[in-house]
Amino acid sequence: MKTEKLFLRELDSAVSGLKGIGKALKSELKALEILTVADLLSHFPRSYEDRKSIKTLSSVPVRTSEGVIVNTVAEIIGQSYIGWGSKKTLKVFVRDNTGTGTLVCFGRSFLSRVLIPGRKFFLYGKFVYRYGEFQCSDFDMEPISGEPKLFGRILPVYPLAGKITQKFLRKIMLQALKEHADRLEDELPHYLLKEYNLLSKREALKQIHFPDDFKLLEKARKTLVYEELFHLQLQIWRRALKRRSCLKAGKKLSFKLKAHLLQRLPFKLTEDQQRVFSEICKDMADPKPMARLLQGDVGCGKTLVAFLAALVSIEAGYQVAFMAPTELLARQHAENAAELLSPLGVRLAFLSGNVSGERRSTILKALAEGEVNMLVGTHALFTEQVRFRSLGLVIVDEQQRFGVLQRLALTGKGEMPDLLLLSATPIPRSLALTFFADLDVSTIKTMPEGRKPVITHLTVEGNEEKVYKRVREEIEKGRQAYFVYPLIAQSDKLGLKDAESMFHTLREDVFPDFSLGLIHSRIPEEEKESTMVSFIKGEIDILVSTSVVEVGVDVSNATCMVVECAERFGLSALHQLRGRVGRGEHQSYAFLVYSRDLTEEGKRRLKIMKKYHDGFIIAEEDLKLRGPGEITGTTQSGFFRLKIADIASDLDVLQQAREDAVNILRADPGFILPEHSLLREVFSRVNPFAGAITEGG
Ligand code: ADP
Ligand code: MG
């Protein structure tokens, strides 16, 4: 039975079957998500200790606090103690054939019985020049007798939890590799292994944990990264190609309504708007259902393009659904639509959770009978009772706010409607390739003419007075301002500013002569909305809030965006916040107030905000600094968990893997590899598509 070949994922016997794992350790391993032998073998090192290359004591520099890792054969030459009694600390003097050093054995006085003068040991540890000698307090030793266990090789350093030690993990890893690795089957087609000169699965696992040398380690990593990304792409593209092979009736397009609307506008479409509009039209005319992401910074004119697409769809005889993530935003879209589209004869309706009773049933009836051309609203558009007569186009604004599940539910209405997703959160190319492979992407890069870039100031906490003074000048000129805080209400623990307290401070002490409003998510919907409306009308000068203003509100007279405790916000959030201003003819400003004890990384992040205005560059930088999950908002849904590949640094491999996966699927749409050992976990836990199918029944 032992000789039978199997896939890593099939090593599903409990890790507690390995020697030396008691109950306590079993639960600690669980904290590392290691339940089975397969989990253990896919718990990859975060770094390595090179105990192979000799590094002698003479390599430690003198008179600097910079330490050097020494890996040498050392002879004990003496012992002494610092301090007295129970607090005394053992010092052991050693030498190799280049120099001498001192081991400071804090709390390890028992070592005096082992580290006896004359004995020789392998020694590994970080030495620093201190008090006229080379000292080391964190070291590992092994007597020189027989085969060295931990020396003469490259050792893995694992992520740990609880009482689990490196020593323990290394031991059980070695054991698991010895007992199981040789039975493992490859998880990539052989021609790909050969083409890229990759290792077999079993060799890759051995080398990633206990590399023979750094070259093989690199090769092992390359193998596992490629394998993981290849499988990821295979899954995504199988789905994407399947969707693309569905057919609908291609729309017969004509552009009378569109021309009417454009005549009524005081401006011309930008080149980018024209280009993306024709990309969308091409999709709508095609028998393949459109699935297109339209991305571009806030204010670049996406909504207008979406309205034009809606007109074309309506003229072709189809209904349109336009969905926004919040009631406020949905209403704003509905008002815009009423102003721009109703005069052309488009029949509009609005639906949200708050529309109920008779009004609701009237709307639903009109919709089912085809009396309504375009339904604007929140996700209430896609609840059970909503039936369209001929839904031809679904537009989703700020699509990143919706889960992938909702995205699916909404294309389930009608016969494969075209799908147009709008996003102001620029999705870096690498992520687009990874998660939105089933979408085509159109990008608007340029802003309409006449927009002035927002001037961004970074201000350290304590200098807020200066910011408040600048804001005062703007308001006295007739402009308006946003003040944004990371918290709703006071929290002693965090010691951060919050919207509620600052609302009172600003209103009573700083701007007693202006009118202020407050919104955050705990304020009732109606009150929030009436405050927003007053702000839009200019009755309120200063709007104090949490990041709820991030999405969509459009007040062109607002020229100041003040964000306090700015380091608490992600770069993408800051970019969105800044996008709330600079929407009109006036010069606008963003003031990012940061805390005194800002970390180096924090400083780097804020400098990026000052330097760049292009959302795509900011998103790429954000990706580099934070890792991908947070950007796409997938952290919560958790479906983004690669074990070894790193989307930012392994982008080349990702692209190659994508090409290979698509080629295989094109040649053989039914191509199936055994599920990937690592990805299975990723997808079974979270694969939103798998979930959707069972949920839908
Ligand atoms: P987005 O949806 O990308 O945030 P909108 O479509 O809401 O942007 O457009 C923002 C503002 O710019 C709106 O007031 C809109 O009327 C205006 N706008 C759109 N396209 C143009 C254009 N080509 N020239 C001038 N202004 C435009
Ligand atoms: Mg918008």
- The mean predicted confidence, pLDDT, of the chain is 85
Whether residue 459 sits in one domain with residue 436: no
Measured CA to CA, the distance from residue 66 to residue 599 in angstroms comes to 22
Burial of 95 (0-12, 13-18, 19+ CB in 10 A): middle
- What is the SS3 assignment for 418? strand
Q: Are 90 and 74 in contact (CB under 8 A)?
A: no
> Is residue 691 over pLDDT 60?
no
Closest ligand to C-alpha of residue 298 is 1
> For the residues 322-332, what does the mean pLDDT come to?
85
**Which residues share a beta bridge with 130?**
133
Query: What separation in Å is there between the alpha carbon of 418 and the centre of ligand 1?
Result: 23
Share of the chain above pLDDT 70, in %: 87
Band (694; pLDDT cuts 50, 70, 90): very low
> Is residue 411 over pLDDT 70?
no
- What is the structure's pLDDT at 435? 64
Is residue 663, in this structure, part of any structural domain at all?
A: no
Whether residue 472 sits in one domain with residue 423: no
> For the residues 393-420, what does the mean pLDDT come to?
67
Q: How many CA atoms lie within 13 A of 678 on its CB side?
A: 23
CB atoms within 10 A of CB 167: 10
- What is the SS3 assignment for 64? coil
Burial of 319 (0-12, 13-18, 19+ CB in 10 A): buried
- What is the structure's pLDDT at 402? 55
Give the N- to C-terminal CA distance of the chain in Å, as an integer. Answer: 40
DSSP at 110: G
Whether residue 425 sits in one domain with residue 280: yes
Query: What separation in Å is there between the alpha carbon of 175 and the centre of ligand 1?
Result: 63
Pairing status of strand 133-136 against strand 89-95? unpaired
Tokens of 383: 């609840």
Is residue 651, in this structure, part of any structural domain at all?
A: no
> For the residues 234-252, what does the mean pLDDT come to?
77
The pTM of the full predicted model, rounded to 2 decimals, is: 0.64
**Which residues share a beta bridge with 561?**
482, 590
Query: What separation in Å is there between the alpha carbon of 436 and the centre of ligand 1?
Result: 25
Sole residue written with tokens 């794992």: 21
CATH, residue 62? 2.40.50.140
Is residue 299, in this structure, part of any structural domain at all?
A: yes
Is residue 660, in this structure, part of any structural domain at all?
A: no
Nearest Cα residue to atom 6 of ligand 1: 301
Closest ligand to C-alpha of residue 556 is 1
56 vs 25 pLDDT, higher one: 56
Nearest Cα residue to atom 5 of ligand 1: 301
- What is the structure's pLDDT at 551? 58
Of residues 539, 578, 534, 537, the one with CA closest to residue 559: 578
- What is the SS3 assignment for 232? helix
Residues measured by CB to lie within 5 Å of ligand 2, the ion = 303
Band (491; pLDDT cuts 50, 70, 90): confident
Band (681; pLDDT cuts 50, 70, 90): very low
- What is the SS3 assignment for 195? helix
Query: What separation in Å is there between the alpha carbon of 308 and the centre of ligand 2?
Result: 14
Query: What separation in Å is there between the alpha carbon of 495 and the centre of ligand 2?
Result: 34
> For the residues 262-272, what does the mean pLDDT come to?
95
Measured CA to CA, the distance from residue 87 to residue 81 in angstroms comes to 10
Is residue 230, in this structure, part of any structural domain at all?
A: no
Whether residue 531 sits in one domain with residue 438: no
Whether residue 527 sits in one domain with residue 407: no
Identify the weakest region by mean pLDDT among 254-263, 473-482, 561-570, 575-584: 575-584
CB atoms within 10 A of CB 336: 15
Per-residue pLDDT tens for 454-485? 999 999 999 999 999 999 999 999 999 999 99
Nearest Cα residue to atom 17 of ligand 1: 301
Q: Are 490 and 504 in contact (CB under 8 A)?
A: no
Whether residue 133 sits in one domain with residue 107: yes
Domain count, the chain: 3
Which residues, at least 6 apart from 618, have a Cβ–Cβ distance to it below 8 Å?
426, 571, 572, 575, 608, 609, 612
CA dihedral 190, 193, 199, 204 (to 10 degrees): -90
CB atoms within 10 A of CB 19: 8
Whether residue 387 sits in one domain with residue 317: yes
> For the residues 344-366, what does the mean pLDDT come to?
94
- What is the structure's pLDDT at 638? 30
Which residues, at least 6 apart from 161, have a Cβ–Cβ distance to it below 8 Å?
28, 31, 32
Whether residue 375 sits in one domain with residue 303: yes
Identify the weakest region by mean pLDDT among 439-453, 560-574, 610-624: 610-624
Domain extent, residue 406, equals: 256-444
Query: What separation in Å is there between the alpha carbon of 303 and the centre of ligand 1?
Result: 7
Which residues, at least 6 apart from 127, have a Cβ–Cβ distance to it below 8 Å?
57, 60, 67, 68, 69, 70, 101, 134, 135, 136
Whether residue 325 sits in one domain with residue 416: yes
Tokens of 591: 């003031």
Measured CA to CA, the distance from residue 242 to residue 42 in angstroms comes to 31
> Is residue 557 over pLDDT 80?
yes
Band (412; pLDDT cuts 50, 70, 90): low
Query: What separation in Å is there between the alpha carbon of 554 and the centre of ligand 1?
Result: 10
> For the residues 608-616, what does the mean pLDDT come to?
88
Identify the weakest region by mean pLDDT among 179-183, 379-383, 529-533, 689-693: 689-693
- What is the structure's pLDDT at 278? 97
Nearest Cα residue to atom 10 of ligand 1: 299
> For the residues 390-399, what does the mean pLDDT come to?
87
Query: What separation in Å is there between the alpha carbon of 275 and the centre of ligand 1?
Result: 15
- What is the structure's pLDDT at 347? 97
- What is the structure's pLDDT at 639? 38
Tell which one of 264, 302, 303, 307 to mutate to probe ligand 1, the residue whose CB is within 8 A of the most ligand atoms: 303
Contacts 24+ apart (CB under 8 A), 198-205: 198/222, 198/223, 198/226, 198/227, 199/223, 201/8, 201/227, 205/8, 205/41, 205/177, 205/181
- What is the structure's pLDDT at 688? 28
Q: Kindly give the number of the ligand 1 atom that is closest to the alpha carbon of 296.
A: 3
- What is the structure's pLDDT at 643? 80
Q: Interhelix angle for 327-340 vs 525-537, to 10°?
A: 50
Whether residue 426 sits in one domain with residue 323: yes
Q: Kindly give the number of the ligand 1 atom that is closest to the alpha carbon of 297.
A: 3
Identify the weakest region by mean pLDDT among 405-409, 629-633, 687-691: 687-691
Whether residue 424 sits in one domain with residue 302: yes
> Is residue 91 over pLDDT 60?
yes
Looking at mean pLDDT, say which of 391-405, 420-434, 460-474 comes out highest: 460-474
**Longest Cα pair distance anywhere in the chain, in angstroms?**
99
Which of 612, 641, 666 is the C-terminal boundary of a domain? Answer: 612
Which of 612, 630, 656 is the C-terminal boundary of a domain? Answer: 612
**Which residues share a beta bridge with 91?**
80, 104
Looking at mean pLDDT, say which of 307-316, 411-420, 643-652, 666-675 comes out highest: 307-316
Using CB distances shorter than 6 Å, the residues near ligand 1 are 267, 269-270, 273, 296, 298-304, 424, 448
Q: Kindly give the number of the ligand 1 atom that is closest to the alpha carbon of 300.
A: 3
Is residue 240, in this structure, part of any structural domain at all?
A: no
> For the residues 13-31, what does the mean pLDDT come to?
83
- What is the structure's pLDDT at 410? 56
> For the residues 74-88, what does the mean pLDDT come to?
90
Closest ligand to C-alpha of residue 276 is 1
- What is the structure's pLDDT at 499? 93
Closest ligand to C-alpha of residue 299 is 1
Q: Kindly give the number of the ligand 1 atom that is closest to the alpha carbon of 302.
A: 3
- What is the structure's pLDDT at 525? 79
Q: Kindly give the number of the ligand 1 atom that is closest to the alpha carbon of 268.
A: 23
Is residue 36, in this structure, part of any structural domain at all?
A: no
Whether residue 416 sits in one domain with residue 301: yes
Q: Kindly give the number of the ligand 1 atom that is closest to the alpha carbon of 270.
A: 23
Spell 552-576 as b/e; 16+ CB within 10 A means b: bbbbebbbbbbbbbbbbbebbbbbb
- What is the structure's pLDDT at 8? 87
Query: What separation in Å is there between the alpha carbon of 300 and the centre of ligand 1?
Result: 6
Band (407; pLDDT cuts 50, 70, 90): low
Is residue 636, in this structure, part of any structural domain at all?
A: no
Which residues, at least 6 apart from 548, have a Cβ–Cβ distance to it below 8 Å?
519, 520, 521, 528
CATH, residue 512? 3.40.50.300
Nearest Cα residue to atom 19 of ligand 1: 301
- What is the structure's pLDDT at 695? 20
Per-residue pLDDT tens for 194-225? 999 999 999 999 999 999 999 999 999 999 99
Query: What separation in Å is there between the alpha carbon of 583 and the centre of ligand 1?
Result: 9
Pairing status of strand 558-564 against strand 480-484? parallel
Tell which one of 272, 304, 305 to mutate to probe ligand 1, the residue whose CB is within 8 A of the most ligand atoms: 304
Which of 413, 444, 475 is the C-terminal boundary of a domain? Answer: 444
